[in-house]
Amino acid sequence: MLEIKIKKLNNNAVIPTRSSLQAAGYDLYACLDNDSVEILPHTNTKIGTGIALEIPDGYFAGIFARSGIATKESLRPANCVGIIDSDYRGEYFIPLFNDSDKTKVIQNKERIAQLIILPYPEISFKEVKELSSTKRGINGFGSTGK
Protein backbone atom coordinates (compact mmCIF):
# COMPACT_ATOMS: atom_id res chain seq x y z
CA MET A 1 0.00 0.00 0.00
CA LEU A 2 1.30 3.45 -0.93
CA GLU A 3 1.34 5.91 1.97
CA ILE A 4 0.60 9.55 1.15
CA LYS A 5 1.34 12.23 3.73
CA ILE A 6 -1.47 14.79 4.01
CA LYS A 7 -1.65 18.09 5.86
CA LYS A 8 -4.86 19.89 6.74
CA LEU A 9 -4.34 23.59 6.04
CA ASN A 10 -7.81 24.41 7.36
CA ASN A 11 -9.63 22.80 10.30
CA ASN A 12 -12.74 22.44 8.09
CA ALA A 13 -10.88 20.44 5.44
CA VAL A 14 -12.04 16.89 4.71
CA ILE A 15 -9.51 14.10 4.11
CA PRO A 16 -10.13 12.50 0.66
CA THR A 17 -12.35 9.41 0.73
CA ARG A 18 -13.24 6.53 -1.59
CA SER A 19 -16.86 5.65 -2.31
CA SER A 20 -16.07 1.94 -2.51
CA LEU A 21 -13.12 -0.41 -2.00
CA GLN A 22 -12.68 -0.75 -5.76
CA ALA A 23 -12.87 2.99 -6.52
CA ALA A 24 -9.69 4.26 -8.17
CA GLY A 25 -10.44 7.87 -7.27
CA TYR A 26 -10.54 9.56 -3.87
CA ASP A 27 -13.15 12.28 -3.56
CA LEU A 28 -11.88 15.81 -2.94
CA TYR A 29 -14.07 18.17 -0.93
CA ALA A 30 -14.66 21.92 -1.14
CA CYS A 31 -13.19 23.81 1.81
CA LEU A 32 -14.85 27.22 1.73
CA ASP A 33 -14.71 30.26 3.98
CA ASN A 34 -18.50 30.56 3.59
CA ASP A 35 -21.36 28.06 3.41
CA SER A 36 -21.33 28.10 -0.40
CA VAL A 37 -19.91 29.69 -3.52
CA GLU A 38 -21.62 30.47 -6.84
CA ILE A 39 -20.15 29.65 -10.22
CA LEU A 40 -21.62 31.79 -12.98
CA PRO A 41 -22.47 30.27 -16.39
CA HIS A 42 -19.48 29.64 -18.66
CA THR A 43 -16.96 30.77 -16.03
CA ASN A 44 -14.63 29.01 -13.64
CA THR A 45 -14.04 29.47 -9.94
CA LYS A 46 -10.99 28.21 -8.08
CA ILE A 47 -12.14 26.19 -5.06
CA GLY A 48 -9.76 25.22 -2.29
CA THR A 49 -9.70 21.81 -0.65
CA GLY A 50 -7.85 22.90 2.49
CA ILE A 51 -5.31 20.10 2.09
CA ALA A 52 -1.73 19.65 0.88
CA LEU A 53 -0.15 16.32 -0.03
CA GLU A 54 3.35 14.90 -0.19
CA ILE A 55 3.31 12.70 -3.27
CA PRO A 56 6.26 10.27 -3.47
CA ASP A 57 8.82 10.69 -6.26
CA GLY A 58 7.84 8.71 -9.35
CA TYR A 59 4.13 9.51 -8.87
CA PHE A 60 1.81 12.42 -9.57
CA ALA A 61 -1.69 13.39 -8.50
CA GLY A 62 -4.27 13.36 -11.27
CA ILE A 63 -7.36 15.51 -10.67
CA PHE A 64 -10.41 14.28 -12.55
CA ALA A 65 -14.07 15.23 -12.77
CA ARG A 66 -16.58 13.41 -10.61
CA SER A 67 -19.09 11.84 -12.99
CA GLY A 68 -22.12 12.85 -10.91
CA ILE A 69 -21.33 16.56 -10.64
CA ALA A 70 -20.17 16.64 -14.27
CA THR A 71 -23.26 15.02 -15.77
CA LYS A 72 -25.93 16.32 -13.39
CA GLU A 73 -24.58 19.82 -12.72
CA SER A 74 -22.36 20.46 -15.79
CA LEU A 75 -19.37 21.23 -13.53
CA ARG A 76 -15.89 19.95 -14.35
CA PRO A 77 -12.29 20.87 -13.66
CA ALA A 78 -11.53 23.83 -15.96
CA ASN A 79 -8.39 22.13 -17.29
CA CYS A 80 -10.32 18.85 -17.67
CA VAL A 81 -7.54 16.81 -16.03
CA GLY A 82 -5.18 18.41 -13.57
CA ILE A 83 -1.65 17.16 -12.97
CA ILE A 84 0.03 17.94 -9.67
CA ASP A 85 3.70 17.08 -9.51
CA SER A 86 5.34 15.35 -6.55
CA ASP A 87 7.37 18.43 -5.59
CA TYR A 88 4.29 20.65 -5.01
CA ARG A 89 3.48 21.17 -1.33
CA GLY A 90 0.77 23.84 -1.50
CA GLU A 91 -3.00 23.64 -1.18
CA TYR A 92 -4.86 21.66 -3.79
CA PHE A 93 -7.25 23.96 -5.65
CA ILE A 94 -9.87 22.79 -8.12
CA PRO A 95 -10.82 25.30 -10.82
CA LEU A 96 -14.42 24.25 -11.49
CA PHE A 97 -15.91 25.32 -14.83
CA ASN A 98 -19.67 25.74 -15.27
CA ASP A 99 -20.58 24.46 -18.75
CA SER A 100 -24.27 25.31 -18.26
CA ASP A 101 -26.36 28.45 -18.81
CA LYS A 102 -27.38 28.57 -15.13
CA THR A 103 -25.51 29.71 -12.03
CA LYS A 104 -24.37 26.70 -10.00
CA VAL A 105 -23.76 26.54 -6.26
CA ILE A 106 -21.07 24.53 -4.48
CA GLN A 107 -21.63 23.89 -0.78
CA ASN A 108 -18.86 23.74 1.79
CA LYS A 109 -17.59 20.15 2.15
CA GLU A 110 -19.26 19.08 -1.12
CA ARG A 111 -17.38 16.51 -3.22
CA ILE A 112 -16.03 18.45 -6.20
CA ALA A 113 -13.43 16.28 -7.97
CA GLN A 114 -11.52 13.05 -7.60
CA LEU A 115 -7.87 12.40 -6.99
CA ILE A 116 -5.96 9.47 -8.47
CA ILE A 117 -2.30 8.86 -7.63
CA LEU A 118 -0.49 7.56 -10.71
CA PRO A 119 3.07 6.39 -11.40
CA TYR A 120 5.09 7.74 -14.26
CA PRO A 121 8.23 6.32 -15.82
CA GLU A 122 11.43 8.27 -16.13
CA ILE A 123 12.08 8.62 -19.87
CA SER A 124 14.58 10.07 -22.28
CA PHE A 125 13.85 11.10 -25.84
CA LYS A 126 15.99 9.74 -28.66
CA GLU A 127 15.80 11.64 -31.91
CA VAL A 128 15.70 9.38 -34.98
CA LYS A 129 15.32 9.87 -38.74
CA GLU A 130 12.48 7.32 -39.05
CA LEU A 131 9.94 5.59 -36.80
CA SER A 132 8.84 1.97 -37.19
CA SER A 133 5.88 1.40 -39.48
CA THR A 134 2.42 0.24 -38.36
CA LYS A 135 -0.82 -0.60 -40.14
CA ARG A 136 -2.32 2.71 -38.99
CA GLY A 137 0.76 4.73 -39.87
CA ILE A 138 0.17 8.49 -39.93
CA ASN A 139 -3.61 8.28 -40.29
CA GLY A 140 -5.08 10.32 -37.44
CA PHE A 141 -8.49 11.36 -36.16
CA GLY A 142 -11.18 8.78 -36.95
CA SER A 143 -8.85 6.55 -38.94
CA THR A 144 -9.57 3.42 -36.88
CA GLY A 145 -13.36 3.61 -37.30
CA LYS A 146 -16.30 5.44 -35.80
Nearest to 112, CA basis, from 49, 43, 18: 49
List pLDDT tens digits, range 35-54: 999 999 999 999 999 999 99
Give me the mean pLDDT over the 110-126 stretch.
Answer: 97
The pLDDT assigned to 142 comes to 73
Q: Read off the DSSP letter of residue 17.
A: B
Lowest mean pLDDT segment, chosen from 3-17, 77-91, 127-141: 127-141
Q: Which domains does the chain have, with CATH numbers?
A: 5-119 (2.70.40.10)
Q: Read off the DSSP letter of residue 77.
A: E
Asked if residue 48 lies in contact with residue 32, where contact means CB atoms within 8 angstroms, the answer is yes
Instruction: Work out the percent of the chain whose per-residue pLDDT is above 70.
Output: 97
List pLDDT tens digits, range 100-115: 999 999 999 999 999 9
Residue 70 has pLDDT above 80, yes or no: yes
SS3 52: strand
- Predicted confidence band of residue 146 (pLDDT cuts 50, 70, 90): low
Give me the mean pLDDT over the 115-121 stretch.
Answer: 97
The pLDDT assigned to 66 comes to 95
Nearest to 74, CA basis, from 114, 33, 106: 106
